[in-house]
Every structure is written in C-alpha cells, then in structure tokens.
Chain A
Amino acid sequence: MMFLGGPRREDPAQGREAAPRSAPAQAVEKLRAEGLKAWFGATLALKGISLGMKERRVTAIIGPSGCGKSTFLRCLNRMHEVAAGARAEGRVLLDGVDIYGRGVDPVQVRRRVGMVFQKPNPFPTMSIRDNVLAGAKLNGVRLREEDALFEKALRRAALWEEVKDVLARSGASLSGGQQQRLCSARALALDPEVLLMDEPCSALDPIATARVEELIHELAERLTIVIVTHNMQQAARVSHYTAFLYLGELVEYDETDVLFTKPQNPRTEEYITGRFG
C-alpha cells in the first residue's frame, strides 16, 4: 500500500511509547510554516504565521470563526492556491523541504499531505466503495487487496458498520455526518504522511465523534496530524499541541496542557474560557 513516495517512518512501534497526552519535547518537526502569508485577492487572510508541527503528534488549531484556520490548513498542502485569486507567500517545510520552493510539484505534495475538508465533499458519481478508493483509482494506481484496504479505511473512520451492506450506493446518498467520515476514509486510504483535518467532527454525534477521536489517537502513532476544531474539549482531548489563531495571526502556541491551563496571552484565555469568539 505504500505506493506514494516520500520518506517513511520505519518503526511504527516507536510511536506507541510516546503515547498521547504527555508529549516529549524532542519530537522532530514534520511540517513547519515560516512567515506564511495568504491572500484572497487583495485581502490578507494570514498575516505571517510561523508554526512547527511535530512528527507523530496532533496539533490543534483553534480560534474564532474567520480567523484563518482553514486557510492555514489549506496552505499546508498547497490547496490554498487552487481558489481563484488566492495566493500564498512564505515557506512551508515538509521534512525540511520548502513545498513552495521552485520545482516542487503540488500534486506530489498533496499525495503526502492528505486533507479532510470542512464541508464533506464525496464524489456523487462514485459508489461508496469507489469514493474510498478514489485516491488510487483516479491516479491510476493498481491496488492489490482492494477489499481489505477499503474495509480498513472505512473501519478506521468508524463508518464500516453503517455502510457495509450498501457499498454500491452513491457517496452522496449518505447523511452529512456519514459523508464526513467517508471523506476521512478517502484521505486515509491514500496512507498520507500528514493528515490535515478541518473540523472532521462538526456534523457527528457524540458516539461517532468519540470514534473519530479514537482514530486520531491511533493515527498519531504513525502520522502527523493537524486538526482544526471549534470544540475546546476536543482540542484538549486529542491534541498534544495547540495553536490559537486570531485575525490571521498566531497568538499563542504551546503544549495543549499548558495552553489550556496557563495561557500566556489574555486573548487566548478569553477565548478558551468562552468569553469571546
């Protein structure tokens, strides 16, 4: 299944020692934004953000609506520039290599850095099954053990039980929350090195949310996760590090425990205690 290039972590067991919660500070930076600015036409949505995201750790991005969380995430796999009139400036280092550097193919970047969008976007013309396998199928990659692969992806996304009997149905026939999990499964089936999740639980009930959070824990043993969430409890539960964005700027970044218990910036404190936002 490791058909997508790029350096891999050799020993998955290594991750298990570094279990979630207490994050040893010496983890390597998988992804690093440096002076990242992003525009939509003439409006500056990100005003120069520098932030490192550690390997095999979960970094949560929090902040009030419209502060640039989605934009930041989309800059990390070069999806920002896809929107009309959008452009980015600055550097984003993936394993030390600037993905905005000359000669870097955004297509290759996106294969290594997967993404789950804020709004679920399954392919309506494809069956549930083909949706999950879309990454490989659209790229013309032949899969061995297709069945095992997509069952695994669907199980991980906590969707298998609900759809195992209707795999031939259209991806658009699912409920909003199911579509959201289908999109998670689709990203996972590509086996990315980094997974960007933009509010992956916004349409889920508490049980499915718990399953997805469990999945995030599990995935963090092998890959680097950046998750946007509006839910403070969720950020506290799933992430090792948290970054607070406000009006396109990084206000505070720290280990999640520290940020939630002893925020340095009064803005952060106001936000996490629910006094504005």
Chain B
Amino acid sequence: MDRYRRRSAIDRLAKAACVAAVLLALVPLASLLAYVAAKGVSGLSLSFFTGLPKPVGEPDGGMVNAVTGTLVLVGLACLFGVPPGVMAGIYLAEFGDNRFGKAVRFSADVLSGVPSIVVGIFVYTLLVLWMRGFSALAGGVALGIIMLPTVTRTTEELVRMVPDSLREAALALGVPRWKAIVRVVLRTAAPGILTGLMLAVARVAGETAPLLFTAFNNRFWSIDLSQPMASMPVQIFTYAVSPYEEWHRQAWAAALVLVAMVLALNAGARLLLHRRAPR
C-alpha cells in the first residue's frame, strides 16, 4: 500500500513536470503569435491586399504583389523540390541499402546543412548571370533546392516506418512492387509525408536571404517568371529597415499574413487528408 502511494506520488510529480515543460515550450510560440497579431492587425486593410507599394505619404499602399509573389515562389519551389525529393526519399527507403543510397543520403544531409544564403549565391551564379537578370524562376529554384534535402529525408523516414507486413500483403495479392509502393506504402505514409512537406514549405516561405540574389524584389505587379518578383519576406525586410512608421506597420501586417498563410496551408492539407481516410 505504502509502495503504491509512493509510486503514484512519483507518477504525479513526473506528470506535473511534463505539463510544466510543455507550457514552457509554448510560451515563446504563443507570445510570438500574440505579438505578431497585435502588431500586425493595425496594418491590415483592404488596400493591403489590393494595393501596390506606394511611396511614403501616399495613402492606400499595399502588398498584393508580394503576397502573390510569395505564393508563386513557393509554388515554384514545390514544383522543383517536391517531386525529386519525394522520389529520392522513396528510393532511399525502398532500394537505398547500398553504396549509392548511402552517398545520396550523405549528400542530402550535407545539403540541408548548407546555409540558405549560399544556395542563393549558387543559383545567382548559375541562373541569374546566365539569364542576365533576377527572375522569379531563379527564386523558385533556390527555394526548391533548400526544400529538397528536407523533403528527401522526411519522405525516407516515413516510408521506412510503413510496416513490411503491408508491403507483403500487397505483394501477396499479386500486385507488382511499384504499384504496392505507390498505392499502399505511399498512401499509408501520406499523412506524415504531407506534414513534412508543410514544414518544408513553411520554412521556405519565410526565406529571405536566397531571394535577395535571385527573385530580388519588384515594386510593380508582375507574375512574369522571367522577371524579378516581390515576396513577403523581402518586402518585410525592406520595410522593416526603413525609417518610416507607415512601412513598419505594413511590415508587421505582412508578417502576420505570412504566418496566417502557412497555418492555413497546414490546416488545409490536414483537412484534405483527414476527409479521405476511412476510420
């Protein structure tokens, strides 16, 4: 009896410690969100979403170009980063127990450790100089390269986590290996892979440094991929370092919108997957 009481006391203590740790970890997150929201709300208005950047003093300045620019750039990044990343991840998990697989895994790890600004310079010398100018395309490539290793390694992890018994179940039904991988293994790993993709997207959506060398910035409305393109992080950077109060307010609003976009994307993807899964 005495032992039992001691054990449950320890149990309660451990539980309390865990809860405290969780709360502690939530403090920075919650305060960040609250701060961004508080600072950003005042800058939000219809013109923020419809107007173009205006010189200080002129009313109705906005960021419609930067909002769409970020969407386009992130879309391009997914186009360049996700398919090769997911396929490389599948390769590593399903067929990668050899020298080549090891080499790929190692390079992915090295690549994920490369500072994003270095990727920016790399794409600058490779693409921007060659195309003789900054372009949205170059920005998308740079962001895609940054996504690639994360996508590869998370996909590998999650595909590996699918139990072999499911692969065997499919194979024993006379399903060819590739189909078993696509229809059963990938499908089972999909929620996790999607979460990984969302994290990669979230990370890339906030990247600023590599865009300075590639997509640069654009004060005008443009969705031409061969031209410079505005993006929210770069715009936030530009406005935040300016001395003008009005631009500061817009920078905060942009930060809020950026966070909200990432959250919405995340929630949307989860919802989509949740709907489709039987329970």
Q: A residues near B, CB below 8 A?
A: 4, 77, 79, 82-84, 107-108, 110-112, 114-115, 117, 119, 121-127, 130, 134-135, 138-139, 168-171, 173, 183, 186-187, 190
Tell me the chain B residues, 177-197 only, with Cβ under 8 Å from chain A. 179-180, 183-184, 187-188, 190
CB <8 Å contact, A121 and B171 = no
Tell me the chain B residues, 54-93 only, with Cβ under 8 Å from chain A. none
Given A117-B169, A125-B277, A170-B279, do A135 and B187 touch, yes or no (CB 8 Å)?
Answer: no
Which chain A residues lie closer than 8 Å to B180 at the CB level? 138
Seed contacts A110-B172, A117-B172, A138-B179; 16 additional CB < 8 Å A-B pairs: A79-B171, A82-B168, A110-B174, A121-B166, A125-B187, A125-B277, A134-B170, A138-B170, A138-B173, A138-B180, A139-B173, A168-B278, A171-B278, A186-B173, A187-B172, A190-B174
CB <8 Å contact, B176 and A107 = yes
B126 at interface, CB cutoff 8 A: no
Output the residue of B167, B174, B179, B180 with the most chain A CB within 10 A.
Answer: B174
B16 at interface, CB cutoff 8 A: no
Q: How far is the CB of B272 from chain A (nearest CB, A)?
A: 14
Output the residue of B168, B172, B184 with the most chain A CB within 10 A.
Answer: B172
Q: How far is the CB of A20 from chain B (nearest CB, A)?
A: 26
11 contacts between A and B (CB under 8 A): A83-B164, A111-B173, A114-B172, A121-B163, A124-B166, A125-B184, A125-B277, A135-B174, A138-B180, A139-B179, A169-B278
Closest residue to B169 on the A side, CB-wise?
A: A121
A111–B170 Cα distance when bound, in Å, is 11
Which chain A residues lie closer than 8 Å to B184 at the CB level? 123, 125, 138
Q: How far is the CB of B275 from chain A (nearest CB, A)?
A: 13
B13 at interface, CB cutoff 8 A: no
Which chain B residues lie closer than 8 Å to A169 at the CB level? 278-279
Which chain B residues lie closer than 8 Å to A134 at the CB level? 170, 173
Q: Count B interface residues, CB 8 Å.
A: 25
Nearest 5 A/B pairs, CB to CB: A111-B174, A121-B165, A135-B173, A127-B278, A121-B169
Q: How far is the CB of B175 from chain A (nearest CB, A)?
A: 5
Q: B residues near A, CB below 8 A?
A: 97, 163-176, 179-180, 183-184, 187-188, 190, 277-279
Which chain B residues lie closer than 8 Å to A121 at the CB level? 163, 165-166, 168-169
Which chain A residues lie closer than 8 Å to B279 at the CB level? 169-170, 173
- A82, A84, A130, A170: the one within 8 Å of B171 (CB): A82
CB <8 Å contact, A126 and B278 = yes
Which chain A residues lie closer than 8 Å to B164 at the CB level? 83
CB <8 Å contact, A107 and B166 = no
CB <8 Å contact, B183 and A138 = yes
CB <8 Å contact, A119 and B165 = yes
CB <8 Å contact, B175 and A139 = yes
Closest residue to B184 on the A side, CB-wise?
A: A123
Q: How far is the CB of A149 from chain B (nearest CB, A)?
A: 14
CB <8 Å contact, B168 and A79 = yes
Which chain A residues lie closer than 8 Å to B179 at the CB level? 138-139
CB <8 Å contact, A110 and B277 = no
Given A138-B183, A169-B278, A170-B279, do A123 and B169 touch, yes or no (CB 8 Å)?
Answer: yes
Given A107-B175, A190-B173, do A82 and B188 touch, yes or no (CB 8 Å)?
Answer: no
A243–B167 Cα distance when bound, in Å, is 29
- A110, A135, A170, A187: the one within 8 Å of B278 (CB): A170
A139–B183 Cα distance when bound, in Å, is 10
Q: How far is the CB of B87 from chain A (nearest CB, A)?
A: 20
Closest residue to B279 on the A side, CB-wise?
A: A170
Which chain B residues lie closer than 8 Å to A186 at the CB level? 169, 173
Q: How far is the CB of B166 from chain A (nearest CB, A)?
A: 6
A114–B171 Cα distance when bound, in Å, is 10
A71–B170 Cα distance when bound, in Å, is 18
Q: How far is the CB of A38 from chain B (nearest CB, A)?
A: 16
Closest residue to A124 on the B side, CB-wise?
A: B188
Given A121-B165, A138-B184, do A79 and B172 touch, yes or no (CB 8 Å)?
Answer: yes
Closest residue to A111 on the B side, CB-wise?
A: B174
- A4, A122, A123, A124: the one within 8 Å of B174 (CB): A4
A130–B170 Cα distance when bound, in Å, is 13
CB <8 Å contact, B168 and A107 = no
Q: How far is the CB of A188 from chain B (nearest CB, A)?
A: 11
Which chain A residues lie closer than 8 Å to B174 at the CB level? 4, 107-108, 110-112, 135, 139, 190
CB <8 Å contact, A117 and B277 = no
Q: How far is the CB of B278 from chain A (nearest CB, A)?
A: 4
Which chain A residues lie closer than 8 Å to B169 at the CB level? 117, 121-123, 183, 186
A168–B278 Cα distance when bound, in Å, is 6
Closest residue to B276 on the A side, CB-wise?
A: A125
Which chain A residues lie closer than 8 Å to B166 at the CB level? 121, 123-124
